[in-house]
Structure 1
Amino acid sequence: MKNISKVAVLGGGGRTGNYLVNQLLKKGFSAKLLLRNPEKFEIKNSKIEIIKGDALDFESIKVLLEDCDAVVSTIGQRKDEPLVASAVTKNVLKAMKEYSINRYVLLAGLNIDTPFDKKSSKTIMATDWMKVNFPIIQEDRQKAYTLLEESDVNWTQVRVPFIEFSNDSSEIAVDVEDCLGDKISAFDIAVFMTKEMVESNYSRQSPFISAV
C-alpha cells in the first residue's frame, strides 16, 4: 500500500474532528481540511491546508482529495440540514476513484447494522431508538454503509457509542459484532482512527470501539 503522508479530512471543524486533526498532526501527517466556515477553525499549524467548501458539493470534494493519500471523516448530521451520510459517501468514493486513493476511514454511530452483527439487547435497543426517532437519518446512514460495501476501496467504518469530549484515555474494546461499552472519549476515537488508517486491521469492516 502507498505510504500515507497527506490526509483529506472531512468534519475537521466539528468537536470530534478537532481531536482527529490534532492526532494526525501529532503523528506527523499533513492534513487537508474541507471547511464551510474556515474563519471559525482555531487549530493553527503549518501542516494544515484549508479548503473552503461543502462536502455535499462534488467539486469541493475533488479539490479536497487532490494530492491526498487517504481520507478520514467525522462528518455528522446537523439539525435541520440536508442529509449528509450517503451523499458525502457517494462524493468521496467517486473522487477517490478519480485520484486512485484507496484508504477511507469514517466515523459512525452504533446504530448502523451490518450482516456480521451479533448485537446485544442493549445495542439493539439503542439502534431501535434511532430507527424510531430519526428514521430518515437512520435510513440515510444505512444507505452510506451499502455504498461502502458496493465499492472496491479499503474502507473502515468505526462505530461508537456516546462520545465524551475529553482528552481522557482508557483501555479500548474493539469488536466487529457488538458494542461492548457505553461510552468513549473523542481522544480515543482520534487515536484509533489514525492508527487504523495506517494499519488497516479492519479493512472493509465496521468495528465497534468503546471504553472498557
Structure 2
Amino acid sequence: MKVALLGATGRVGTEILSFLLNDKYEVSTLTRTPEKIHTTSPLLSVIKGDAKNYEDIQNVIDGNDLVISALNTDGSDTLSITTPHLIKAMKKKGLHRIITIGTAGILQSRIEPEVFRFQSSESRRKTTRAAEEHLRVFQQLNASSLNWTIVCPTYLPDGKLTKKYRYAADFLPEAGREISVQDTAHFAFKQIENQEFVKKRVGISY
C-alpha cells in the first residue's frame, strides 16, 4: 500500500513515518524542508513543496492509496488552506481515505455535550486559536465525501510507546489528561486498517 504523508517533520508525523516504513508501506512526503527528514529508505519519496499549494498537494498524493496528515496549525491558517486542496485533489485522483491529527478541543464536551470542548469549562487552554483552526478542518472534512478520521489527542508530551491507551468516538475518554506523541502516532497508524472510526473524531488519552 502507498501512503501520502503530510507533516512528516513534526513530532507526530516523524513517528508515523517510522511506523509506515517499518511495516513496509511505500511513503511519499511533502515538506518545505527536506533536510529535516533524517530517515532514508528505498520506500520513501521526499517531495519539496508547500502544503498550501494545490499543485504540490496533487504531486504528493498522485499514485497513493490514502493520505495521512500530521500537519500542525503552524501558528497560521495552514490547515484550513491545505484541507480544501486535499479534498479537491483526492476527489480528482479517486482517493477516499484520509486520517488526520486534530486536537481534543474539537471533541464534544462531556460537561456541555452541545458544544465543543474548547468552548466549555472542560478545556484548560488559555487560547482557542489552534482549536478554531482544527474546527475548520473538521467542518471541511465533514462536508466532504471523503472517508475521514480525525485523531484528537489531549495534552501531548514526548514519552514512550506503550500501545496501551483509551479512546472514544467524538469525546475524550473520561478523566483523560495526556497521551504521548508515540502512542498518538501508533493509534493514527492503526487507523489505516481500521474502519470503526470512519467519518468520526476520536478522542485518545491514557
- TM score, norm. by length of structure 2: 0.89
Unaligned regions of 5+ residues in structure 2, if any?
none
CA distance in structure 2 between the aligned counterparts of 1:65 and 1:126, rounded to whole angstroms: 37
- Matching residue of 2:20: 24
Using the alignment, how far apart are the partners of 2:51 and 2:179 within structure 1? 26
Counterpart among 49, 68, 71 of residue 72 in structure 1: 68
Change (3 A) 1:120 1:19: farther
Look up the match of 1:144. Answer: 137
Contact 1:174 1:208 in 2 (8 A): yes
Deviations 1:125-165 (A, max 9, x none): 354735xx244x43332121111111011000111111122
Q: Does 1:206 align with 2:201?
A: yes
Q: Which runs of 4+ in 1 moved over 6 A?
A: none
Query: Cα distance 1:178–1:12, how it changes in 2: closer, same or farther (>3 A)?
Result: same
Answer yes or no: is 1:86 the counterpart of 2:86.
Answer: no
1:38 to 9, 21, 34: 34
- How many residues are matched? 198
Aligned mates of 2:124, 2:142 — CA distance in 1: 22
Flag the structure with higher helix content.
1
Q: Does 1:182 align with 2:183?
A: no
Point out the more displaced range, 168-177 or 84-93.
168-177
Q: How does 1:42-61 map to 2 (within 5 A)?
A: 42-61=38-57
Q: Could you tell me whether the CA contact under 8 Å between 2:111 and 2:122 is conserved in 1? A: no
Q: Which residue of 1 aligns with 2:146?
A: 153
Identity %: 25
What is the identity, as a one-letter code, of the residue corresponding to 1:207? V
Q: CA RMSD in A?
A: 1.8
**Structure 2: distance between partners of 1:179 and 1:83:** 25
How much does 1:188 deviate? 1.3
Paired with 2:203 and 2:6, the residues of 1 have a C-alpha distance of 20
C-alpha offsets along residues 48-71 of structure 1, whole Å, 9 cap, x if unaligned?
100000100111100000000000
Task: Give the alignment of 1:93-132 within 5 angstroms.
Answer: 93-113=87-107, 117-120=108-111, 124-125=120-121, 127=123, 129=125
The answer to which of 68-77 and 173-182 deviates more is 173-182
The CA deviation at 1:102 is 0.7
Output the amino acid matched with 1:204: K
TM-score, normalising length: structure 1: 0.87
Give CA-to-partner distance per residue, 1:158-188, whole Å, 9 cap, x none.
Answer: 1111112233315211111421211111221
In structure 1, distance between residues paired with 2:93 and 2:148: 16
Unaligned runs of 5+ in 1: none
2: CA distance between counterparts of 1:99 and 1:177?
Answer: 29
Q: Secondary structure at the match of 1:39?
A: helix
Does the CA contact (< 8 Å) of 1:111 and 1:126 recur in 2?
A: no
